[in-house]
Amino acid sequence: MSRENSPLRIALVGASSLRGKELKSVLEDWKWPGAAIPEIELFDTSLPSGTLAEAGGEPTFVKPLEAENFSGARFVFFAGNSAETRANWKMARDAGAVVIDLTGALDFESGAAQWIPGLDSLLPLSQHSTGHAQGTYVSPSPAVIVSCTLAAAFQKLSPRRLAVLFFPPVSEREQPGVDELESQTSALLSFKPFTQNVFDSQVAFNLLADYGESSSPSLATIRSQIAAAVGAYLDGRIQPPVVQFIQAPVFYGYAFMAFADLSAAVDVSAVESALKGAGVVVSSAGEASPSNVGIAGEDKIHMSCLNRDAKSPECLWLWGLADNLRLPAVNAVRIAGELLAPRI
């Protein structure tokens, strides 16, 4: 049986992580080319091999990360932790599978291609041909997707500068981050001591410009990594936006404030049209601005109506949000869908 006619086998590594759970949901609901129904196999080093689980409405068992278990898989998605990805991605690739990473471990790996399919019409991927040939892909972090999407949307408006201030949720540090914010909130309301193992600082009821010294990675490191990934994706095509990060005491939802310094005052409708052309959902005047709660489960970036700077009409302030788990998961599955789509 040819590879094209064989069942669509998909391996999901890190199935019990927050990213993994969201990715599994997207994989199960996706409309695959040719009405294919994928066989989803689960891998997770944090669970004992043989643990009973469920995928696609059917009972299954968690498999160990061994080369023979990747044999015949069309795609292997890595959604656990970066160390797990670094230790096993070559084994999956050598088994003949297409590797798609959501953990950030392969962001700067030689031959791995960052890919945001929704931007293909605005940002051709010619310089990523090496990664395409080797079958190793990166579904970027939500901050990278947002940054590149804004840059692509604004490119025809010739901004002098584009800056984005991100407010990441604690779930970007997976379940331990969620647990720490929850426990800190409860302890502070009860006037009890609290733990700070993840952020090495008080994140509850607080905004942080950096974490404590024992936290790894630091917020400055995260900023540098995101800026580098954005620069690599936009290299040779568009000037990348500058980015900054403030840790917010929220569980889910990646909020951001963007600032666009245009060369001249532009009609707001033109900006809204450019954003919509890049796949952004823009709320109309009178509608509520997007919120962390309101965008839960949404596939796209949501932004509110635009506001001109009070003293500089050529400068715009924009507010937006994205579901930090859903956005990269949908992007990752879109990569697989694009690779399976028939070429004319």
| Contact yes or no for 103/17 (Cβ under 8 A) | no
pTM over 0.85: yes
d(CA 94, CA 225) in angstroms, rounded, equals: 27
For the stretch 264-297, pLDDT in tens is 888 888 899 999 999 999 988 778 889 999 999 9
* CA nearest neighbour of 139 among 277, 274, 279, 19: 19
SS3 177: helix
pLDDT in tens, 171-187: 999 999 999 999 999 99
Q: Is residue 125 over pLDDT 80?
A: no
**Mean pLDDT over all residues of the chain?**
90
Long-range contacts at 270-277 (CB < 8 A, ≥ 24 apart): 270/157, 271/154, 271/157, 271/306, 271/316, 272/306, 274/153, 274/154, 274/156, 274/157, 275/153, 275/303, 277/122, 277/153
SS3 per residue for 109-145 = CCCCEECCHHHCCCCCCHHHHHHHHHCEEECCCHHHH
Cα gap 38→66, rounded to integer Å: 21
| Gyration radius (Cα) of the chain, Å | 21
And the tokens for 172? 């970007």
- What pLDDT was estimated at residue 127? 46
Neighbours of 12 (CB within 10 A): 25
Indicate the CATH number for domain 144-324: 3.30.360.10
For residue 4 the two structure tokens come to: 């094209």
CA angle 321, 324, 328 (to 5 degrees): 115
Average pLDDT over residues 335-340: 93
Residues 6+ apart with CB under 8 A from 286: none
pLDDT, tens only, 215-271: 999 999 999 999 999 999 999 888 999 999 999 999 999 999 999 999 888 888 889
Task: Report d(CA 148, CA 278) in Å as an integer.
Answer: 10
Distance CA 77, CA 115 (A): 14
**What is the band of 134 on the pLDDT scale with cuts at 50, 70, 90?**
low
pLDDT at 9: 93
Give the domain ranges of the chain: 9-141+328-340, 144-324
CATH 3.40.50.720 fits 9-141+328-340, yes or no: yes
